[in-house]
Amino acid sequence: MLTKKSILFLLILLLLTSGCATPAPGTPVPTGMNTPIAPASPTASAEAQVVPTQDAQPDLIKVGLLDSFRVIPANLDPVSQAQEITSQYRSVTTGSSETWAGGTVMAGHRFSLVIDSLSQSAQESITLKVPIHLTITAANTSADGLNILAPMGGGGGGGITFPVMPLKPGEFDLMPDNPGPVILTADMPGNSYDLDMSCQQAGVFDLKFNIPYAVSAAAGTQERAMIYSISLACPQNETVWMLDSVTGQITNRGQWALQNGQYTK
């Protein structure tokens, strides 16, 4: 027969045995036990859905620089490399390339941005939009002792004209004199923006044009824009060379300097 002491001893032993069966909070679970582990929370990168990138839409307009006054690159010598200069100049001007900076001999830059449609569809039309956003920055290039090449004679113009504006650093929204819509089609695929900028100070300037346009087709209309960049120089001192288009010879017409907003010989 169990005594009171024996019963009390058994109860204490039973309590101690049942307490060891369950690990205390925070006690590591021994390896080898089939204890389920809560899945780790997904990281932010795993939660974010991967959006497939879309190929950039190709430009449906082509822009070129129509400017007969150009800065001869510094690595070309007009005296000893006249033939090479003439060849490159014709390639640059014929192709409306921006690789040679625009120059001037009259303190004003008159040039055109020729715009052509690249659309291959007869059912598609392109409408040139305004304003054009222009950003002008000063280039880290010397404007002293430049060589300017120009053809004998002149010409150009006949497109959409813009008011005269100063050639200086800043951001500008350009509105044409006639803001009516300009539509390029398969029958009329090209036009030009005729601009006139005046030198306010000597320097070489980088111009970045943001040219908006809309593409209209049977499926609807898409708004687009093209970035086109050129450089224009307002030389502090320059030597002017004239190109004879018949003989291909270039002739030194003297040195000029910018004084009080005008070039004097």
SS (H, E, C) 206-237: EEEEEEEEEEEECCEEEEEEEEEEEEEEECCE
CA distance 45 to 43: 5
| Averaged pLDDT, 5-27 | 45
Does residue 4 lie within any of the structural domains?
A: no
CA distance 205 to 47: 47
With 70 as the cut, is the pLDDT of residue 52 above it?
A: no
Distances in Å between the alpha carbon of 198 and those of 103, 114, 148, 151?
12, 20, 17, 20
With 50 as the cut, is the pLDDT of residue 58 above it?
A: yes
Dihedral sign from CA coordinates of 158, 164, 166, 171: negative
What pLDDT does 255 receive? Answer: 96
pTM of the predicted model, to two decimals?
0.76
pLDDT category, 65, cuts 50, 70, 90? very high
CA distance 197 to 108: 6
CA distance 190 to 128: 11
Does residue 13 lie within any of the structural domains?
A: no
The mean pLDDT of the chain is 82
With 60 as the cut, is the pLDDT of residue 19 above it?
A: no
| Averaged pLDDT, 1-19 | 47
**Long-range Cβ pairs for the range 31-38 (8 Å, 24+):** none
Q: Which of 128, 142, 112, 132 is nearest to 202 (CA)?
A: 142
pLDDT category, 179, cuts 50, 70, 90? confident
With 60 as the cut, is the pLDDT of residue 49 above it?
A: no
What pLDDT does 156 receive? Answer: 60
Does residue 247 lie within any of the structural domains?
A: yes
Does residue 205 lie within any of the structural domains?
A: yes
Does residue 254 lie within any of the structural domains?
A: yes
Total domain count for the chain? 1
Does residue 185 lie within any of the structural domains?
A: yes
Instruction: Give the lowest-confidence range in 19-23, 84-88, 124-128, 157-161.
Output: 19-23
SS3 state at 4: helix
Percent of the chain scoring above 90 in pLDDT = 62
CA distance 263 to 104: 9
SS3 state at 202: coil
| Averaged pLDDT, 169-197 | 92
Task: Tell me if 65 sits within 8 A of 111, measured CB to CB.
Answer: yes
With 60 as the cut, is the pLDDT of residue 30 above it?
A: no
Residue with tokens 């974010």: 48
Pairing of strands 146-151, 170-174: unpaired
How many residues are present in the chain? Answer: 265
pLDDT category, 62, cuts 50, 70, 90? very high
Q: What share of the chain is helix, strand, coil (3-state, %, to 5)?
A: 10, 40, 45
What pLDDT does 26 receive? Answer: 44
Range of the domain at 252: 61-264
With 90 as the cut, is the pLDDT of residue 104 above it?
A: yes
Does residue 29 lie within any of the structural domains?
A: no
Query: pLDDT (tens digit, 9 = 90+) per residue, 109-157?
Result: 999 999 999 988 888 899 999 999 999 999 999 999 999 999 987 656 6
Instruction: Give the lowest-confidence range in 5-19, 37-51, 92-106.
Output: 37-51
What pLDDT does 204 receive? Answer: 97
Does residue 24 lie within any of the structural domains?
A: no
Task: Tell me if 264 sits within 8 A of 136, measured CB to CB.
Answer: no
